[in-house]
C-alpha cells in the first residue's frame, strides 16, 4: 500500500510517499480502507519535533480518518466488513496517512447513512475537542461571550458552530484580514486581526468593558497573560494547545489578580476525556454524529488533496495559510 512516512523530525522534505506492507488486524482490531484522512496542527508539531514522538521511525502520521472496514480481527463484535466508519485515536497510535490502517475497535465508530466520508474524517478530533471544551470544561451556557483563538482553523470553526448552537456570543482571533472575513462568514459574531488590531481594546469594545466568560486558547505562548486580564468575573481560560509554545513569562501576578474576579486557567486535552471518562467520549461521538446527520453542524473543509500532496498541505498549514480543515484522500 501507499503511505506517507516521516523519516526523521524536521522539515516537510522529511515526508515521503512510500510503498509499505499492508497492515493486518490483530485480536480486537479492524483493518480500514481509508477514504479520507484529516490533517491537524498536532501532526505538524510531531513532524517538526516540537511535540515528542514516542513511535519508532519511519512513522506514518494521522490520528483521524474515515473509510470502510476491510477486514475483522479475532473477537471483533459490532462491526462488519464493508461498514462505513470514522476512526479517532491518539496521535501516536494510528497511522491514517495511508491507503489502509489498523485500529482498535474502541477507536472505530459506525457512521449514519448519508454522512459524507470527507466530513466524517474532519469531524472527530476538532468537534469533540470543541464539544468538551465548551461543555465538560467550560460549562458554557447562553448569553456568555467566548474568545476563540485560531478562529479560522479546524477547532476554531467547530467552536464557532457549537457555541452558536448553545447561544454564546463569539469573538474570534485571526492572523489576516482574509481570515477575519472567513470567520465572519462561518458564523463568528466578531473577528479581530490580532496582527493589526489592539486585541484588548477590541474585546473591551465588543463586551462593553465586561470581558469574556470563556477563552478557548490553543496558542498559549505569551497570550495567557492577556487572556487572564480579559476574563469577566468567574471567567476561565480553557487552554488546549501550544501552537506558539509554552508561556515564557511569569504568570503569578496575573493569576493572583484573578482572585478579584474568581477567574483562572484550566488546561485541557480531549484525550483525557477518553482516558478518564470513556462513557462521556462515547456519548459525545454519537451526539456530534447526530448533529452532523441533522445538518446542525458541518465541518468546514477548504481543501481535499491526494495523499501524495501531504507535504504541501503541511507546508501551507505551517505557514498559517490554511482555513478550516485539510483532507487527504488516498
Burial of 303 (0-12, 13-18, 19+ CB in 10 A): middle
Specify the pLDDT at position 103. Answer: 96
Res 92: pLDDT: 66
Q: How many CB atoms lie within 10 A of CB 135?
A: 16
Ordered strands of the 231-239 beta sheet: 190-193, 169-174, 145-148, 212-217, 231-239, 264-267
**Cα–Cα distance for residue pair 220/79, rounded to 1 Å:** 40
- Superfamily in which the 126-271 domain is placed by CATH: NAD(P)-binding Rossmann-like Domain (3.40.50.720)
DSSP 8-state secondary structure symbol assigned to residue 307 = G
* Of 130, 134, 153, 150, nearest in space to 142 by CA: 134
Predicted model pTM: 0.94
Amino acid 135: pLDDT: 97
- How does pLDDT run across 33-89, given as a tens digit for each residue? 999 999 998 899 889 988 877 778 899 999 999 999 999 999 999 999 999 999 998
Strand partners, 217: 239
For residue 172, the SS3 value is strand
Q: What pLDDT is recorded for position 91?
A: 65
Residue 59: CB atoms within 10 Å: 19
- Compute φ and ψ for 50, nearest 5 degrees: -75, -10
Tell me which fold the domain 2-123+299-329 belongs to: Quinone Oxidoreductase; Chain A, domain 1 (3.90.180)
Average model confidence (pLDDT) for the chain? 94
State phi, psi for 322 to the nearest 5 degrees. -95, 155
Indicate the pairing of strand 15-19 with strand 2-6.
Answer: antiparallel
What per-residue confidence (pLDDT) applies to 314? 94
The domain limits of the chain are 2-123+299-329, 126-271
Instruction: List pLDDT tens digits, range 252-278.
Output: 888 888 788 899 999 999 999 999 999
CA angle 194, 164, 217 (to 5 degrees): 40
pLDDT-flagged residues of the chain (< 50): none
Amino acid at each position: 500500500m501507499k503511505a506517507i512516512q516521516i523519516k526523521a523530525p524536521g522539515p516537510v522534505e522529511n515526508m515521503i510517499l512510500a510503498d509499505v506492507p499492508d497492515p493486518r488486524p490483530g485480536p480486537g482490531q479492524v483493518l480500514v480502507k481509508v477514504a479520507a484522512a484529516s490533517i491537524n496542527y498536532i501532526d505538524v508539531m510531531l513532524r517538526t519535533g516540537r511535540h515528542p514522538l514516542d513511535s519508532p521511525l519511519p512513522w506514518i502520521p494521522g490520528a483521524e480518518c474515515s473509510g470502510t472496514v476491510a477486514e475483522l480481527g479475532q473477537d471483533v463484535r459490532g462491526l462488519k466488513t464493508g461498514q462505513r466508519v470514522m476512526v479517532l485515536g491518539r496521535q501516536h497510535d494510528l497511522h491514517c496517512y495511508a491507503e489502509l490502517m489498523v485500529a482498535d475497535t474502541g477507536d472505530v465508530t459506525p457512521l449514519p447513512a448519508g454522512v459524507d466520508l470527507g466530513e466524517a474524517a474532519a469531524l472527530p478530533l476538532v468537534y469533540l475537542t470543541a464539544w468538551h471544551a465548551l461543555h465538560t470544561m467550560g460549562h458554557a451556557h447562553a448569553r456568555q461571550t467566548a474568545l476563540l483563538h485560531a478562529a479560522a482553523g479546524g477547532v476554531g470553526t467547530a467552536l464557532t458552530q457549537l457555541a452558536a448552537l448553545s447561544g454564546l456570543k463569539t469573538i474570534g482571533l485571526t492572523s489576516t484580514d482574509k481570515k477575519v472575513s472567513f470567520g465572519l462568514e462561518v458564523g463568528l459574531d466578531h473577528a479581530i486581526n490580532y496582527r493589526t488590531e489592539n486585541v484588548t481594546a477590541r474585546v473591551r469594545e465588543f463586551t462593553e468593558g465586561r470581558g469574556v466568560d470563556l477563552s478557548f486558547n490553543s496558542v498559549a505562548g505569551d497570550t495567557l497573560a492577556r487572556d487572564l486580564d480579559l476574563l469577566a468575573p468567574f471567567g476561565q481560560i480553557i487552554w488546549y494547545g501550544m501552537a506558539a509554545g509554552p508561556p515564557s513569562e511569569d504568570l503569578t501576578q496575573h493569576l493572583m489578580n484573578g482572585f478579584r474576579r474568581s477567574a483562572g486557567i484550566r488546561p485541557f486535552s480531549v484525550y483525557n476525556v477518553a482516558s478518564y471518562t470513556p462513557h462521556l467520549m462515547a456519548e459525545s461521538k454519537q451526539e456530534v454524529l447526530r448533529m452532523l446527520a441533522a445538518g446542525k453542524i458541518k465541518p468546514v473543509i477548504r481543501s481535499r488533496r491526494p495523499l501524495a500532496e501531504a507535504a504541501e498541505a503541511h507546508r501551507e498549514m505551517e505557514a498559517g495559510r490554511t482555513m478550516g480543515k485539510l483532507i487527504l484522500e488516498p
